[in-house]
Structure 1
Amino acid sequence: MTTTASASAAPRRLLVPALVSLVGVAVLIGLGLWQLDRRAWKRELIATLSERLAAAPVALPPAAAWPTLRREEAEFRRVRFAGEFLHDREALVYAIGSGLRTAPGGLGYRVFTPLRLAGAGGAGGPAAAGAPLVMVDRGFVPDAQKAPEARAAGQVTGPVEIVAVMRWPEERPTFAPADDPARNLWFARDPAAIAAEKGLAVAPFYVEQEAPEAPGGLPRVTRLKPNLPDNHLQYALTWFSLAAALAVIFLLWAFGPRRRRSGVTG
């Protein structure tokens, strides 16, 4: 009688551990599938970046088209245009690591300088006083040379023609300090916020300069490269392995030889 009662109670005692294990396995498999989705997205992104960064530069879209530009269609496209830098309105944006460029090494900043477009949307000719403005990330400067007078040779004046990559404002890093306009230091690449502090209105995007090199070497321009890490397959296999391990552990615990002999279920 006792043996029969114990045997009938065994399935009930396995119910909660079985449900917990089932939920755990489902969650782990879901995480693995999510990583596979992320891998497909990352590979598509890398392919898009590779294609756009290898393409020949085209004319910068005219100012009339700026409000309708879509990030997914325009970002990372190489453009060529002309204009004049407004060096008295430049800003320093704290430089952080990126999977799109080689780390510069050491503390430093990206120099963001407004450029007044020449002619019809940067196509040539002198820059008129009311011409549209584009914020240009001119490149990296070390902390010791962040002051403009420490890199005077690079503060080129007059008309310039540059090749650059279109970029969109970034989200503020989670633990970034507050911007310090009084010291002209910023911690997010937000051209509109920087320009507004300086009494300007600029394009809703900014551009990252590729060429020409600045006289004297500063700011130091860097070519973007799609060196984004793609570890999602390894992560997916890890989650799937954990799901399999959890399932095996439960089966051994629930139906192993010792449990069958003893009838003990918990």
Structure 2
Amino acid sequence: MFIGGLLYKQFVMKFTLQKKVYIFEPKIIPSIATLIALSILLTLSFWQIKRLIWKKDLINTRIERYEKGIEDFNSLKFVDDNEFFKVSVKGEFLNNFEMFMPALSKRGNNGYHILTPFKNSDNKVYILDRGWIPLAKKEKSERISNIVEGEHELDVVIRKPGRKGKFQPENDLKNNFWFFVEPTRMSNYLNIKLEEKIYLEAVNNGPNNSPLGGQTRIYIRNNHLQYSITWFLIALGLIGVYLAASIKLEKK
């Protein structure tokens, strides 16, 4: 009690503002709680700055790689280290093994991405996202003019399979709907040996402008500066509330 009283007297201050005398009279428990909350809020604010820098570097890397000239796929020594590079591949589509990824187009329309196994000239089979089609063209009979048969050369973007998103549903093997690329399960589903470290995304549209290629999302949102400012403003608001609760007009 003696130590608490001593600390209390040490931090009590008087000051004058517009000819009025005010007392800054902090309470121990609210002060400790405010300091803890402030440290958390400011840590979150500075952490978002780190995330901002990380996201900028990520975006710049994507753009730099994507905007580089198209290279020959077979000339790359370590293919899985070249995500977002554009390359030219030659091979054939295994059109009897199509898979469908429910997705919105870049204009927000419902449809599917067509995922088709692609056997390249080295006889390796990769998942190739040919692009987006509307719901009405899901059946192959509705897009005969868009099917590519035989050996074909096309430009693609190298991608790495990602992990399932927090809010993504599980892949629906029963209905052949895939919400994220999962090479191991796709291999088992199709009974085809698929390369697992990468998959490919078509750069250009298919025959007669379908499927719609170029669906790779290079430019991603970077809202971390707004998040950082938000946490900082909350911290300032907390300081304001604390001061308002701790400062009182001196009674005469």
Q: Choose from 167, 179, 187 the match for 1:187.
A: 179
What is the match of residue 110 of structure 2? 107
> Cα distance, 1:34 vs. partner?
0.9
The list of structure 1 runs, each at least 4 consecutive aligned residues, that deviate by more than 6 angstroms after superposition, is none
> Cα distance, 1:14 vs. partner?
1.2
CA distance in structure 1 between the partners assigned to 2:75 and 2:125 by the alignment: 11
Amino acid at match of 1:108: G
Superposition map of 1:167-178 within 5 A: 167-178=159-170
Q: CA deviation digits over 1:171-219, x for unaligned, max 9?
A: 22334444333432222222332232100111221010113x3112221
Partner SS for 2:27: helix
Amino acid at match of 2:51: R
Higher strand share: 2
CA distance in structure 1 between the partners assigned to 2:111 and 2:124 by the alignment: 29
Amino acid at match of 2:199: Y
RMSD: 2.6
Amino acid at match of 2:65: R
> Cα distance, 1:113 vs. partner?
0.5
CA distance in structure 2 between the partners assigned to 1:64 and 1:225 by the alignment: 25
CA distance in structure 2 between the partners assigned to 1:56 and 1:50 by the alignment: 12
CA distance in structure 2 between the partners assigned to 1:245 and 1:62 by the alignment: 57
Higher helix share: 1
TM-score (norm 1): 0.79
Task: Tell me the percent identity.
Answer: 27
Q: Choose from 61, 67, 88 the match for 1:80.
A: 88
Moved more, 17-26 or 228-237: 228-237
Q: CA deviation digits over 1:98-151, x for unaligned, max 9?
A: xxxx62432211101111112xx4xxxxxxxxx111110000011111111111
TM-score (norm 2): 0.83
**Residues matched between the structures, number:** 233
Q: Answer yes or no: is the 8 Å Cα contact 2:52–2:224 preserved in 1.
A: yes
Amino acid at match of 2:248: P
Moved more, 136-145 or 223-232: 223-232
Q: CA deviation digits over 1:55-104, x for unaligned, max 9?
A: 012122579956xx3xxx421111111001000011111115xxxxx624
Partner SS for 2:165: coil
Amino acid at match of 1:11: Y
Superposition map of 1:223-242 within 5 A: 224=216, 226-242=218-234
Q: CA deviation digits over 1:145-181, x for unaligned, max 9?
A: 1111111111111111111111111222334444333
Amino acid at match of 1:210: V
CA distance in structure 2 between the partners assigned to 1:139 and 1:237 by the alignment: 38
Give unmatched runs, 5+ long, in structure 1. 97-101, 122-130
Q: CA deviation digits over 1:19-78, x for unaligned, max 9?
A: 000011111101100110110011101111110110012122579956xx3xxx421111
What is the match of residue 22 of structure 2? none
